[in-house]
Amino acid sequence: MFKTGDIVRLKSGGPKMTVQRLVGDKSSPMMAFVDQHLRTKGHQDGDVICQWFASSELKSETFFVDTLEAVVAESN
């Protein structure tokens, strides 16, 4: 559904976030250990790891895919 670089936000609202990667992304074999840990926390392949800024602080979190929606690009 989403891919790296997409802009998303929680369906319930909140800041715009950039998709960093998806859990289980086979193009990131070095992240397999991280993915395994996320699965023990209830996440599954396809869940979304996002980054965003809160003021000047970079934040990162993993979200269940069904809690996110794509942000439509604004046209000028």
Considering the entire predicted model, what is its pTM?
A: 0.87
Between CA 35 and CA 42 the distance in angstroms is: 11
| 29-54 pLDDT tens trace | 889 999 999 999 999 999 999 999 99
- The conformation of residue 52, written as its DSSP 8-state character, comes to E
Residues 6+ apart with CB under 8 A from 29: none
Which ranges in the chain belong to alpha helices (H)? Answer: 32-40
Tell whether the model's pLDDT for residue 2 goes beyond 80.
yes
Mean pLDDT of the chain: 94
Q: CA 29 → CA 32, 33, 35, 36, 54, distances in Å?
A: 5, 9, 10, 11, 29
